[in-house]
A and B are shown apart, each in its own frame.
Chain A
Amino acid sequence: MDKTGPIEVPIEKILPFLPCLMTLYVYPMIVLLTLVSILIFPFLFVVYKIFTRWTDDRIMRALIWLYGRVWLAGMSPFVRFVREGFDQAVLLPPYVIVVNHYSFFDTYCMALLPFHNIAFAVRAWPFKMFWYEPFMRLAGYLNVEELKLQGTLSGGAKVLQSGGSVLFFPEGHRSRDGELQRFSSVPFELACETGIKVLPLCIIGTDVLFPPGRWTMRPAKIRLKALPPIDPSDFEGQDRHMKLRKHTKDLMARAIAEIQVER
């Protein structure tokens, strides 16, 4: 009788199919995660309400952060996540957070942050995802295109005053060439008006994972690096928000270039 054991497939034969396998896995994983989350959301909301006494928007932000954490776990067979610069002794939210933008999944990766009380300030199109929209509204996310300048500044100030942070992707679009694009002044105007520090975050690797214009995904190593917070009171003059903006962008460009050399 012939002895047969497990079939060994060399890893080199699997590698070309890895993106395909990953894509076939990730899309259903996200759909399932979202459906289950929507179903259990009322129960979790009530539990948080009873045990934390947090406001509704803060509870929603915590639940969104949890959703993101589960997403991180779900992606872990194919993606390695690394975060640095998040020394808890140094990080004292709230902040006006600014992050560079490569991929649709950048927002999901914000679950890597060690704090959850964050309202995202984004364009109008994410609010068109009807399965996410009610939760985004409940979490107090800011639709910058709908609110315009005054609404964004007052809405952002309200979040910051209550102890929450506000997160912006100041480029406004995903970068298609890996270069940092022009930064919007709005987050820096908010920081100057409220006196809240800017926390620059650099994210690398999501451009490999899922860049704009592609529907398939690739295994990647994603690094999220926090740079030291920047105090807007260090800048003076009428155009201080522009000086703050330029300084932040320069720091982030340098940090991203260093990380890219290392990878």
Chain B
Amino acid sequence: MSIHVSSCGGMRMTDQEAIELINTSLAEEFELDPKRLVPEAHLRDDLELDSLDRVDMVVVLQKAFKIKIREEAAIRQIRTLGDIHAYVLGKLRGPQ
């Protein structure tokens, strides 16, 4: 995995660190077994997170990364944990 350094609330972190923070935050919020948090994990089928849980997911990610997440098409396309990783990393890197 390429090592990018992103800025998050004044802190700089690598992609791997950001992914670990995403997984830790989601595991704590949704009381998930960290072993289940693989990129291919489907939010609904594997992690049993429904549309209401997505609302909480936004709270968690906003707090963890100090970013604002608005309802965009990209959010609605999220299906797997890997999609969440890609979305947040994209937000942290900012417009290219």
Contacts and interface: CB of A to CB of B under 8 A. Distances in A.
Interface string A207-244: 00000000000000000000000000000001101100
Contact of A172 (B28, B29, B52, B70): B52
B5 interface: no
Given A148-B58, A239-B63, A241-B59, A184 B71 contact: no
Interface string B35-56: 0000000000000001111111
Contact of B52 (A184, A241, A242): A184
B63 A184 contact: no
Nearest to A148: B71
A145 interface: yes
A88 interface: no
A182 interface: yes
Interface string A13-55: 0000000000000000000000000000000000000000000
A189 B57 CA distance: 12
A156 to B, nearest CB: 12
B50 to A, nearest CB: 8
B8 interface: no
The listed residue with most A CB atoms (<10 A of its CB), out of B28, B53, B56, B71, is B56
Contacts of B55: 144-145, 148-149, 152, 184, 186
A185 B30 CA distance: 10
Interface string A182-200: 1011100100000000000
B59 A186 contact: yes
A238 B67 CA distance: 13
Interface in A136-180: 144-145, 148-150, 152, 172
Contact of B59 (A124, A149, A172, A182): A149
B92 to A, nearest CB: 17
Contacts of A242: 28-29
Given A148-B71, A150-B71, A182-B31, A189 B52 contact: no
B63 A144 contact: no
Contacts of A238: 63
A69 interface: no
Given A123-B52, A149-B59, A241-B63, 20 more contacts: A124-B51, A144-B52, A145-B51, A148-B55, A148-B58, A148-B71, A149-B69, A150-B70, A150-B71, A172-B52, A182-B30, A184-B55, A185-B29, A185-B59, A185-B60, A186-B56, A189-B59, A241-B59, A242-B28, A242-B29
14 contacts: A144-B55, A145-B52, A148-B58, A149-B58, A149-B69, A172-B52, A185-B29, A185-B59, A185-B60, A186-B59, A238-B63, A241-B63, A242-B28, A242-B29
